[in-house]
Every structure is written in C-alpha cells, then in structure tokens.
Amino acid sequence: MTPQKTTAPVDMIIVGAGFAGLYQLYRARRMGLSVKLLEAGDGVGGTWYWNRYPGARCDVESLDYSYSFSEELQQEWNWSERYAPQAEILRYINHVADRFDLRKDIQLETRVASANFDDASARWTVITEAGERFDGQYLIMATGCLSIPQPPDFKGLETFKGDWYHSANWPREGVDFAGKRVGLIGTGSSGVQMTPVIAEQAAHLTVFQRTANFSVPAQNEPLTEATLAHVKAHYAERRALGREAVTGQFLSANDKSALEVSDEDRLKEFEFRWRGAGGGFRMLRAFNDLMRNPIANQYAGDFVRGKIRATVKDPVKAEILCPKPDLPFGTKRLCVDTHYYETFNRDNVDLVDVKAHPITEITPTGLRTTQGHHELDAIVFATGFDAMTGALLAMDIRGTGGQSLREKWAAGPRTYLGVSIAGFPNLFVIAGPGSPSVLSNVVHSIETHVDWISNFIEHSRSRGTRRIEAEQAHEDQWVDHVNEVANQTLYPVGNSWYLGANMPGKPRVFMPYVAGVPAYRRIIEGVAEKNYEGFAQA
Ligand code: N01
C-alpha cells in the first residue's frame, strides 16, 4: 500500500457512521468545526447497517432507542412497533443523515487502518486501508462496541458445500431458507432473535447451543396512533425519566429487595414484568438487588427456568434450555425474544447441546458433534463479536511517543471516564469501555458522550488550548473504580463478552461501568465543572 496524498486538514475526524458518529458530526458542524467522517460500509447505520439477519430488531424500546437532541425529529418520526425491526431503524438513521444534511462530510467504503498522533503539531494522521491520508486535530472513535464479528473458527468449514452466514455480515438481498435444512450456532441475542423466524421459513432448523442463556419475552406490539400521540405530547418527561434511570431508559424500577417481600409478592412482581405491561429489560429491575445478591438473583433465575419448563413441552429440550447455576441471571446480556422458547415445540426444530457434545468439525454436508452427524444445507453463525475493544484494536492507533494502543491495552482496556485514554491526546471514544455503554440504552449514552466531548472541545478552543490529554493518575483511579463497582455485583461471574470471555486469549477484564447512567453522568459533569479535572490542557 502506497500512502496517497493527505486530503485537506480538518478540525475533526470521526470514525464510524452509526448513531454515535452521525450525532458527533451534527454537533461538530454546529460548533463550526470542519469535519470528515470515515465509514467502512457503503451506507450509514453502523450496527444497523451490518446486522440484517432475520428477526433483527432493537431490544430497547424504539421510543427511547432514538435521538432526543432534536424535538422536530422526535415529533415527526413514527415508530411502527415497540421494538422496531432493523430495516426501520436503518431507515431512521438514513432519514437523520438526510434531514440534517450530514452526508456531504461522510466518506463511505473507507476503512481506517491506522492513526498516528504527532506531538509537535498535536494533530492526528489517519491512514485508510486504501492508503488515503487524513489530517485532523481531534479524532473521535465512534466505532461501536459490537462491530467486529467473531469469525467462525471451525475445522472443515472450507469444505462445506452449502452456504454459510454470520449474523453481523448478512447478505443485503436477504436469504431464502425455504425448503432448506438450516443449522444455527449461537444462542445469544442474535441467535435468539432469528430462531423463531428461520424456523418458520426453513424445512428444518437445528439450534446448536453451547451455553443456555436467559431470555425474556419482549412483549413487542404495534404502536398505535394514540400511544404515539401520547408519548409525543410528553416526550420531554419521558426523556427526563430516562436520564434518571440506571439504564437510561425508564423501566419502573422497584426499589425493594427480593428478600424483603413474601414469596407470593415476589412471584407477582416477576409475573408482571414477564407479561404484557412489562416485558424486556423490566425483568432486571424487578428488585433492587438482583445483580448484587446471589439469593435474589436465584429467585429471578428460578422464575425464568419455571417459565421455560412450562413453555417447552419436551422435558429434555426444556432442561437443555434452562440456564445452569454457574450463570447468574442477567450476567450475560439478557436476551429479549418473541416466541423463542415456544419455537422448540415445533416439529421442524431440534436442539443440540454442544456443551455436552461439542462440535468436532464441519463436513461437506453438515456438522459433526461428538454424538453424531447433522445433515445441513446452510449454516448460520450467531457467534458474537470481539466486543468493546475489537474495533479500536483492529486499527493501529499510536499516541504520544509512538506508543501503541494495542500494547497499552494488552492486559485489557484502560480509559479515563470511558471516554479518553492517557497518552492519546485529542482522541475520544464514544460509549467505549469504562462507561455505561452496553449496559445502558446506548443511544442515550451516545448522546451524553457526544454532548460532553463537544462541550469539552468548545471549552478548550475558547481558551486557545490545542491539546487535551487524560492524566495517567486519573486514568488509573478510574480503572480501579470501574473494577471496584463491578466487583460489588454478580456481573463478573458470568462468562460474558462484557468480560472478553467469549474470545479465546482475550484478557478478562469487566469492561462496562456498572454504576448506572445517572451516577456516571454526575461524575463526568462534576469533572467538567472543575475545569475538566484529570485532563492536561495545553
Ligand atoms: O453474540 P453473543 P450475539 N461453538 O456473544 C455461541 C447485541 N445484540 O451476536 O455463550 C458454539 O451474545 C456463544 O456460546 P457461549 C447484544 O448486546 C443486540 O448474539 O460463548 N457456540 C453464544 O451462545 C448482544 O449481547 C441485539 O457458550 C459458540 C453465541 O454464540 C450482543 O450484541 C441483537 C461458539 C454468541 O452470543 C452480542 O450478541 C443482537 C462456538 N465455537 C445482538 N462461539 C438487540 O436486540 C460462540 N458461540 C438490540
């Protein structure tokens, strides 16, 4: 690759055109900055551009999982369902790009290979895989937490004569499974969402499950005109409630311990959250100690196991689907489904426990486990992502003195406030490790970060400083704090991608900040009020 000539310098380079990158571009423009946004895909949308698998939809309600920065936008857009499908979310993001005339600063089909900070000029040089060079004062990583798919690493895959797909790299034209025998590997959110849909299309579906995860019903439904009108008339209140909710989405949290109520009342609360008026992540807010107290947590786990056994008619399948005691409820990202467990009552759906009988190889005609061979026409991998750090470490990012981010993060990610990295001046990460990020309504967290970063840059420029850099001591304290609060919860017990446990060889560090959105916002606002304490500004 021969580096090409540098394009005209800009104030800000943004990497990624998902929810985060687009809002950062909007804010930077309003601050009068010149901006270039680089995006690997040939369209905007980030996660919602790539993840087009059947059944893909958000698991945070669309009325919350949407931008709040523009009153006009939230008044004019009509979500069709409580949890909008992928295609609708992608239409929304495209609408935002058009409505705010963002496309003129976006360069598509441009994957960043490296970024180098120059100490003398306090500027970043970004080089793309095609060898194009960009020069910017600020570098904003809006690269997403779940954007680098875990490649399927199965012996014999190259010999398979059928077609295979990864959930995060789905053919744009869709896939017709009619008449096919389909194998699905992976039962996280992606696998759980696509199972009922593929089961309806395919002649036969075999789900290969390694770890039984907890899934709760979404209770998805169409949004009526009356509901939309009501929400729009009170949108400011809804957003304000979201800001004060632990996850950035109001889910009527119950501030009681699961241990302080009677068995009957506990069951009533769980039932309420499982059924129509509840649904989705409301279950996690049923009691205030589900993620802290192992007994409270077990009550929730037992409740869901009871539901699985009551739903799945075949007791052998039901037991395989029941999460085991070594996985506390909610410590792997809770799945939110529509008829997932019911699907295993269909005649054309089988379930294979690949923890008990591991996959040994993919063959030309299917897949072999230690127990036998399964004939398949197509294989779907819903095997997840190199989460939170994958996209950042896929690039060769070098800060002061040429230090490499890959080396700095060799033992796990280290940030100050989840937004900045000591030794990497003028670089900000949106909704990255060390922030509430994936434990929250991420669109809310994105807006919080973009607003905070933008205000900081405005503040710095108004004072004539050119360089912003997190101080090492403050970063160390933040990392300790993130670990300390995580260790007060049950989260680190689950072998989840939150910990990097899904990637062979990845360091096990609990990456998101668990103290919740309001607590986090108060911390970063406090830092700003103290002239951005913990940052060197020169
Ligand atoms: O990935 P995952 P995902 N052999 O890592 C299994 C977001 N999301 O794409 O648990 C056999 O959760 C693996 O098994 P195990 C959401 O934040 C949101 O489903 O490692 N199995 C697991 O079952 C979510 O959490 C939505 O034992 C193998 C599965 O593959 C995140 O994205 C929708 C295997 C991977 O599950 C990731 O979800 C979709 C192997 N070699 C995703 N390797 C919304 O609803 C892996 N597995 C918004």
Residue 99 has pLDDT above 80, yes or no: yes
pLDDT in tens, 307-336: 999 999 999 999 999 999 999 999 999 999
Q: In what order do the strands lie in the sheet with 163-166?
A: 163-166, 378-381, 181-185, 204-209, 349-353
Asked if residues 195 and 184 have their Cβ atoms less than 8 Å apart, the reply is yes
pLDDT of 1 reads 52
Q: How many angstroms separate the CA atoms of 233 and 227, rounded?
A: 10
Q: Residues 92-114, buried b or exposed e (16+ Cβ, 10 A)?
A: bbbebbeebebbebbeeebebee
pLDDT band at 3; cut points 50, 70, 90: low
For residue 83, the one-letter residue type is Y
Rounded to an integer, the average pLDDT of 493-498 is 92
Q: Which of the 8 DSSP states describes residue 354?
A: T
Q: How many residues does the chain have?
A: 538
> Which residue CA neighbors atom 6 of ligand 1 most closely?
186
List the end-to-end C-alpha distance of the chain, in Å, as a whole number. Answer: 35
Cβ 141 vs Cβ 432: under 8 Å? yes
165-190 average pLDDT score: 97
Beta strands of 218-365 (E only): which ranges?
335-337, 349-353, 359-363
SS3 164: strand
Residue 151 dihedral angles phi and psi, to the nearest 5°: -65, 140
* 180: Cα within 13 Å, side-chain hemisphere: 20
The backbone torsions φ and ψ at residue 122, rounded to the nearest 5 degrees and listed phi first, read 55, 45
Q: What is the pLDDT of residue 266?
A: 98
- Region 85-98: mean pLDDT is 98
Quick: pLDDT tens for 256-298: 999 999 999 999 999 999 996 668 999 999 999 999 999 999 9
Q: Is the Cβ atom of 19 under 6 angstroms away from ligand 1?
A: no
Percentages (nearest 5) of helix, strand, coil residues in the chain: 35, 20, 45
For residues 66-79, give the mean pLDDT.
Answer: 98
**One-letter amino acid for residue 60 of the chain:** V
Sign of CA dihedral 69, 72, 77, 78: positive
Locate the ligand 1 atom nearest the alpha carbon of residue 383 and give its number.
30
The predicted model gives 77-82 an average pLDDT of: 97
User: How much distance in Å is there from the Cα of 324 to the middle of ligand 1?
Assistant: 17
pLDDT of residue 293: 98
Q: Is the pLDDT higher at 137 or at 276?
A: 137
Is 126 exposed, middle or buried, given 0-12, 13-18 or 19+ CB atoms closer than 10 A? buried
State the pLDDT at residue 495.
87
CA of 213 relative to ligand 1 center, distance in Å: 10
Beta carbons within 10 angstroms of residue 274's beta carbon: 18
Give the sign of the dihedral formed by CA 460, CA 463, CA 465, CA 470.
Answer: negative
What's the CATH superfamily of 157-224+239-381? FAD/NAD(P)-binding domain (3.50.50.60)
Confidence band of 151 (pLDDT split at 50, 70, 90): confident
- Pick the residue whose CA is nearest to atom 1 on ligand 1: 384
State pLDDT tens for residues 468-480.
999 999 999 999 9
Same topology between domain 10-148+387-537 and domain 157-224+239-381: yes
Determine whether the shortest distance from the Cβ of 219 to ligand 1 is under 6 A.
no
pLDDT confidence of residue 369:
98
**Ligand 1 pocket test: which of 145, 146, 190 has the largest number of ligand atoms within 8 Å of its C-beta?**
190
Tell how far the Cα of 17 is from the centroid of ligand 1, in angstroms. Answer: 23
pLDDT tens digits along 339-352? 999 999 999 999 99
**Which atom from ligand 1 is nearest to the alpha carbon of 211?**
27
- Smallest CA-to-CA distance from 259 within 283, 288, 282, 284 is with 288
- Under DSSP, the state recorded for 397 is E
Ligand 1 atom 13, closest CA: 186
Q: Taking 80 as the threshold, does the pLDDT of residue 485 lie above it?
A: yes
Q: Which residue's CA is the nearest one to ligand 1's atom 43?
A: 383
Closest ligand 1 atom number to CA of residue 497: 5
Alpha helices in 324-389 (DSSP H): 340-343
Indicate whether residue 37 lines ligand 1 (CB < 6 A): no
Count of other CB atoms within 10 angstroms of residue 176? 10
Confidence of residue 2 (pLDDT cuts 50, 70, 90): low
Ligand 1, atom 12: nearest CA belongs to which residue? 188
Report the mean per-residue pLDDT for the chain: 96
Cα(56) to ligand 1 centroid in Å equals 13
Residue nearest to atom 5 of ligand 1 (CA): 384
Q: Which two tokens stand for residue 299?
A: 């009550």
Domain boundaries, the chain: 10-148+387-537, 157-224+239-381
Is residue 210 lining ligand 1, measured as CB closer than 6 Å? Answer: yes
Distance of CA 178 to the CA centre of its chain: 31
Q: Whose CA is nearest to atom 10 of ligand 1?
A: 211
DSSP one-letter code for 248: S
Instruction: Specify the amino acid at residue 383.
Output: T
Residue 149 Cβ inside 6 Å of ligand 1? The answer reads no
Residues 6+ apart with CB under 8 A from 504: none
In this structure, of 3-7, 52-56, 507-511, the range with the lowest mean pLDDT score is 3-7
Query: What's the pLDDT tens digit per position in 7-34?
Result: 899 999 999 999 999 999 999 999 999 9
Residue of 383, 491, 495, 508 to test ligand 1 pocket, by largest number of atoms within 8 Å of CB: 383
Cβ of 211 below 6 Å from ligand 1: yes
CATH number of 10-148+387-537: 3.50.50.60
Distance 187 CA to ligand 1 centre (A): 6
Query: Which residues, in sequence order, are CB contacts of 28 under 8 Å at separation 6+?
Result: 11, 12, 14, 35, 454
Quick one: average pLDDT of 42-68? 97
CB 478 within 8 A of CB 515: no
Rounded to whole angstroms, the Cα distance separating 394 from 406 reads 9
Q: How far is the CA of 207 from the centre of ligand 1 (A)?
A: 13
Cα 511–Cα 512–Cα 513 angle in degrees, nearest 5: 125
Q: What are the Cα distances from residue 305, in Å, to 30, 72, 345?
A: 51, 44, 16
Tell me, using a 6 A CB cutoff, whether residue 352 lines ligand 1.
no
Q: Determine contact, residues 43/171, Cβ cutoff 8 Å.
A: no
pLDDT attached to residue 252: 86
Rounded Cα distance, 434 and 388, in Å: 10
Within the chain, how many helices (H) and strands (E) appear?
16, 20
Confidence category of residue 384, pLDDT binned at 50, 70, 90: very high
